[in-house]
């Protein structure tokens, strides 16, 4: 039986790693999964996930960006087929790769009855899309070949922004038919993994939301520090912290922390922290941030 394979692409900071972490949390522990990373260095896959089922990680690195990486991709897949015989293969593409070309290379050199590229999923950060699309060739090339699109950080960004990007993508690319968001319209983070993207064998949802509402937070730096301290337990978090009429917004996307001061659009609001985490961590994080 052919091994289902998914290529996950997206520019830097668009949420590929967060998506992968979410996928790995939900995988059936009985399934063996091979992850090929087309990028070096710390991938930030949660170490605990290694225990949650059988998963191996291979990095393909080095060589010229345009040519020898494709040889290494094919070599990597062949190696996995010989050594591991996984049930599933995920390939995380660097933001500089063109996922459609990766799919093409795989289909050219590996028989379809052995490996089938079932999906290309591109994570899209809406703010980044507005800056880069039409201005950066390599960014635009992510959308080639009818990929499925996941608009990430939809819990953080305004609904108008998400909508406008959804409309833009649908208008520019008439061959893209699947555009999903990382949160449902009510804002509740249900899953990073769109329905059509879940492969057979996925386990159920295990993500929860923690929320803290207060008039004011006295120590804003402490909140940022806690976010960093517990970053491995937090999938996403947004905090609007008001103090003395000034609102500080802290956003954590699973990997990076951003902090900024906001103006009049947050005037008068009380402070709020909304975070998403594994179910098992909810109670603990609720207490920690509600100190």
Partner 1 sequence: MKEMTGLERCQAVLDHKRPDRVPVVPQTFMFAAETAGFRIGDMNKNGKMMADSHIISQDKYGYDGCVIDIDDASLAEACGAKVIYSNPDEPALVDEHNPLVTDLRQFKEMKLPDPLKDGRLPAWLEGTERLISAIGDRVFVLGRSDQGPFSLLCLLRGTQNLMMELITEEPEVIWTALDWCRQAILLFARAQKDAGAHATSIGDSYAGPNLISPQMYRDFAWEHEVTLSRQVQDYGIPFSLHICGNTNDIIEDMVETGAKILEVDWQVDMKKASEIVAGRSVLMGNVDPSDPLVSGTPEAVELKAKGVIEATGGRDLFLSSGCAMGRHTPEANMRALIGAAEKYGTFK
Question: Which region among 63-71, 77-85, 180-188, 265-273 touches partner 1 (by CB under 8 A)?
Answer: 63-71
Of residues 133-172, which lie at the interface with partner 1 (CB under 8 A)? 135-139
114 forms part of the interface with partner 1 (CB under 8 A) = no
Residue closer to partner 1, measured from CB, 196 or 258: 258
65 forms part of the interface with partner 1 (CB under 8 A) = yes
Please select the residue that binds partner 1; options are 35, 89, 132, 212, rule is CB under 8 A.
132
Q: Burial letters for 81-93: b for 16+ Cβ neighbours within 10 Å, e otherwise?
A: beebebbbbbbbb
CA distance 176 to 163: 15
What are the DSSP E strand ranges found in the chain?
A: 3-10, 32-37, 54-59, 88-92, 115-125, 148-152, 179-181, 207-214, 236-243, 246-252, 257-262, 271-278
Residues 6+ apart with CB under 8 A from 149: 121, 122, 124, 143, 169, 176, 178, 179, 180
Of residues 7-36, which lie at the interface with partner 1 (CB under 8 A)? 11-13
CA distance 265 to 254: 25
CA distance 1 to 221: 53
Residue closer to partner 1, measured from CB, 130 or 286: 130
Q: Residues 241, 247: contact at Cβ < 8 Å?
A: yes
Please select the residue that binds partner 1; options are 2, 51, 66, 213, rule is CB under 8 A.
66
Residue closer to partner 1, measured from CB, 43 or 288: 43
Question: Which region among 49-57, 60-68, 198-206, 219-227 touches partner 1 (by CB under 8 A)?
Answer: 60-68
Shortest Å distance, C-beta 3 to partner 1: 21
Look-up: residue for tokens 């319209």?
185
Residue closer to partner 1, measured from CB, 68 or 229: 68
Residue closer to partner 1, measured from CB, 70 or 166: 70
Which residues of the chain form contacts with partner 1 (CB under 8 A)? Answer: 11-13, 40-42, 59, 61-68, 70-71, 95-96, 109, 128, 131-132, 135-139
């Amino acid at each position: 039986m052919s091994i289902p394979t998914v290529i996950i692409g997206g520019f830097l900071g668009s949420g590929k790693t967060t998506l992968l972490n979410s996928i790995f949390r939900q995988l059936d522990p009985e399934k063996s999964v091979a992850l090929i990373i087309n990028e070096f260095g710390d991938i930030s896959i949660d170490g605990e996930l290694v225990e949650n089922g059988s998963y191996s990680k291979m990095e393909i690195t080095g060589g010229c960006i345009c040519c020898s990486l494709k040889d290494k991709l094919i070599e990597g897949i062949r190696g996995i087929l010989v050594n591991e015989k996984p049930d599933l293969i995920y390939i995380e593409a660097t933001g500089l790769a063109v996922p459609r070309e990766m799919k093409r290379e795989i289909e050219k050199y590996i028989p379809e009855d052995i490996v089938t590229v079932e999906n290309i999923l591109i994570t899209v950060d809406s703010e980044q899309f507005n800056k880069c699309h039409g201005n950066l060739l390599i960014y635009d090339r992510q959308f080639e070949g009818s990929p499925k699109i996941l608009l990430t950080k939809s819990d953080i960004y305004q609904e108008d922004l998400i909508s406008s990007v959804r409309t833009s993508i649908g208008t520019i690319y008439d061959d893209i038919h699947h555009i999903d968001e990382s949160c449902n319209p009510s804002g509740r983070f249900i899953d990073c993994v769109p329905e059509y993207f879940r492969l057979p064998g996925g386990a159920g949802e295990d993500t929860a939301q923690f929320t803290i509402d207060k008039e004011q937070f006295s120590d804003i730096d402490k909140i940022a520090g806690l976010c960093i301290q517990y970053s491995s337990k937090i999938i996403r978090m947004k905090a609007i912290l008001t103090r003395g009429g000034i609102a500080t917004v802290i956003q954590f996307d699973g990997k990076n922390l951003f902090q900024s001061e906001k103006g009049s659009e947050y005037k008068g609001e009380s402070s709020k922290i909304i975070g998403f985490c594994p179910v098992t961590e909810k109670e603990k994080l609720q207490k920690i941030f509600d100190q």
